[in-house]
Amino acid sequence: MNSAVGISRITLAHVVVIIALFAGAGCASVQEKIPFVRGRYRDRNEGFSLLYDLATKQRNVDKILVLKHVNARTESEIKEIAQLFHQAQEEFDSFARQDSSLNFQATHLPALEEKTRDSIQSTTTKDLLFSTGKDFELRLLLTQVQALNYASHLANVLRDKDYNRTRKSFLSEFSKQCDQHHQKVMQLLSSL
């Protein structure tokens, strides 16, 4: 009887150890799928990732003007917006060179959100490419209203998540510049 109790204790101990190992392995696989879960900089890196991705796209917004024509005021504003985002992307790259904890690949958006964003981008691109005249100009300006508003708000929220004074200052100024361009685009829309 004593040997049966000993076997039960050993078996129970082994089962507990095995369950603990599997539970730990499960956590490790979640960590692999969602890196930085415990990372101190997760929110900051996700914010920079989103802003960097937007800057990467927006820096080339003026390229569509090679194919499409708009009035001179709209063309000038679109080129200024592209330049603003080009400079922002260069500044982000500089920040990353100075701080290895910055990661611009850390969006971690849910799959459904990524698919939705891709769908919106695809539809918007098609709408821009297949529209002409005032319709094209209106659609282009509307994309800029959305992008500038998002960039401004994201930069402000990100500024509050970052500890680095230089980046905080840049994000604050970038947000103000996005607001200024947002107002100019709104004025252009009202004049169409």
Question: How would you label 101-115 residue by residue, b for 16+ Cβ within 10 Å and e otherwise?
Answer: ebbbebbbeeeeeee
Residues 21-65 pLDDT 10s = 334 444 433 333 444 444 668 889 999 999 999 999 999 999 999
Q: What is the CATH number of domain 40-190?
A: 1.20.1260.10
Q: Record the pTM.
A: 0.78
